[in-house]
Amino acid sequence: MEIKIKTPLPHGGRLVDRVVRNPELGKKMARGCPAYDIKPNLYNGMPVRNVYREIMSICYGFFSPVEGSMTQAEVERVLKERRLLSNWIFPYPLVFDISEEDYKKLGVSVGDRLLLRLKGQPFAVLDIEEIYEIDPQEIATRTFGTPENNPEVVRRAFDTKHPGYVIYLSLNRIVLAGKYTIINEPRLRPPFDRFWYPPAKSREEFKRRGWTTVINHQTRNVPHVGHEALLRNAAFTGDTKPCDGILVNCIVGAKRLGDYPDEAIVEAHEMVNLAGYVKPQRHMVTMLLWDMRYGNPLESLLHGIVRQNMGCTHHMFGRDHAAVGDYYDSYATQILWEKGIPSFGFPAPPNAVEYGLLIRPQNMAEFWYCPHCQEVTYSENCNHLDEIQRFSGSFIRSLLSEGLFPPPVIMRPEVYKVVVKWWKQFGYPFNNKKYLTEREKELEVDLAPMDI
C-alpha cells in the first residue's frame, strides 16, 4: 500500500510574515521613531554576527513561529528546555543586543518603536516590549552545553576556538525585546538573488514542480563528490519511492576563517545541477541568511525548523553535522534524532515530542572513495576499510590553497572552476579577515532610499 506523505505544516502551525510591502505604510510606521544603525558584532576586531540576518530570517518566516527578539523569560526557557514560551521547540536564544552607551544615547523605553537602519537606509522597526541585561559568558556556556550538564553528547568544554561560542560572547549586555517588522523590503544582491526562496516562495515552487516529498541537504561548503553521493542516496528515504525533490539550502552569513566564500558555495552547488551531475528536475539550490553557530545537535534542530517551514518532508543528517572541532560527539545529531538527548530537553527525538517537528530525519553514515571498488561507496556497504580514502574537507582545502586541481574523483572540474572564479575575485579561495570585513560593508542586500 502506498504511503501518502503530505507537505508538513509550518513549525507552530503558520508561517510568520512580518514584511511590509507597501512603501507608504512603511514610511508611516517609521515616522517619528528614534533610529539605530545596525552594527555587526565583533570579536577581536572580526565580524562574527550581524543581527540583520536574524531579522530577515524571522520576518520572512524561516524561523517560524519566532517573531522577534526574545524576552528574558523566553531566553531562559530556550536555554533550559529548548522551547519557546508557546511550547514549540526552538534551540537558540535570538536577541537584539546593543551597548550600554548606545542604549543611553537612544533613551528608549518599553512601548517605544525603534527604527532600525541598515547601510544608512530605513530597514525595519522593533516594537519594544521589554528591556533587560544579559551576561554574554553565561549565555554562551548555556547555549552549547557542558560535559557535566550534557554528558550524552558534549565531549569537552567550549572555548574561543569555537565560532558559535564566540558569537554569544560577542553579544552586548543590553537586550531590546519585541517583534520586528521589515518596512523597506531589501533586494538580494547577485549572485544571492537567484537563490532567495523564503518559505512561502519555496512552498509555491515545490507545488509548481509537483514535488510532494522533498529532502533537504544542509551545507556550508562547496560540494565534493562525496556530497553528491550523500544527497543522491539520501533521497531514497525508505518510503515508497525516492523523494520528488532534493533541496540544497546553503548557509549565507559570517562564518569561520577557512570556510569557503558564500558566493562560491551557492554557485558551486548550482553547478552540480547545471553540469548535469544531479538531475536538474529533482534539484534546487536555495540559501538561508544565518551567522552559523556550528552547534551540531542544536544546529540540526534549527535546520529542521527552517526546512520544515520551507516545505521539506525529510532532512538528511550526517556525521559531525554542522560541527567544528571535537566539542560534541561525532554522531550527536543522529543520537538526538534517533533517541533524543534528555539533558537538552528531549527524552525522545524532536519529531516524537509534543510541540515538536514534523520533518522526518534521514540519518546517514559516511561516503568514501574505495580504490578496490573503484567508486564512491557507502560505509555500510564497503568492506575494504584498510584501503578507503575519506573525503576530507581539510585535505581538499589544502590542495586548493596550493593551487592544485583536485582529482575528479574528489571534486568536479566544473565546481573547481567556480571556486577559482571567486578566488580571482577576492584574492584567496577561503574566508579571511579581509573578506569577512568587506562583506559586512556590502552585505547580501541593497535597500532603496526611503525618505521619512
CA-to-CA dists, residue 147 to 76, 158, 285, angstroms: 20, 9, 37
Beta bridge partner(s), residue 219: 250
- Give the separation between CA 26 and CA 19, rounded to whole angstroms: 9
Domains in the chain, please, with CATH?
A: 23-186 (3.10.400.10), 192-292+365-440 (3.40.50.620)
Nearest CA among 375, 27, 116, 332 for reference residue 225: 375
E strands, 234-320, are 245-252, 283-289, 314-317
- Backbone phi, then psi, for 82, in 5-degree steps? 60, 40
What is the distance between the alpha carbons of residues 395 and 407, in angstroms, rounded to a whole number?
Answer: 12
Give the pLDDT of residue 389.
Answer: 54
Q: What is the pLDDT of residue 391?
A: 55
Per residue in 17-49, is it b (16+ CB within 10 Å) or e — as a string?
ebbbeeeeebbebbeebeebebebbeeeebbbb
Chain centroid, CA 351 distance in Å? 19
Give the pTM. 0.93
List helix spans (H) across 353-444: 393-401, 413-426, 433-442
CA distance 59 to 341: 30
pLDDT of 368 reads: 55
Ranges of H-type helices in 134-209? 136-144, 163-169, 199-209
Which secondary-structure segment (H or E) carries 302?
Answer: helix 297-310
pLDDT in tens, 28-61: 999 999 999 999 999 999 999 999 999 999 999 9
Q: How many other β-carbons are positioned within 10 Å of the β-carbon of residue 211? A: 22
Q: Please indicate whether residue 399 or residue 385 has the higher confidence score (pLDDT).
A: 399
Question: 267-324 pLDDT, tens per residue?
Answer: 999 999 999 988 889 999 999 999 999 999 999 999 999 999 999 999 999 888 999 9
- Pick the residue with more confidence: 97 or 375? 97
Q: Assign 439 to helix, strand or coil.
A: helix
Find all residues with CB under 8 Å of 1, minimum gap 6, and list them: none
The pLDDT value given to residue 3: 55
The residue with cell 512580518 is 18
pLDDT, tens only, 94-153: 999 999 999 999 999 999 999 999 999 999 999 999 999 999 999 999 999 999 999 999
Higher pLDDT, residue 419 or 167: 167
338 contacts 308 by C-beta, under 8 angstroms: no
In this prediction, residues 72-85 reach a mean pLDDT of 98
Contact 200, 17 (CB under 8 A): yes
* C-alpha atoms less than 13 angstroms from C-alpha of 65 in its C-beta half-sphere: 17
CA distance 201 to 233: 26
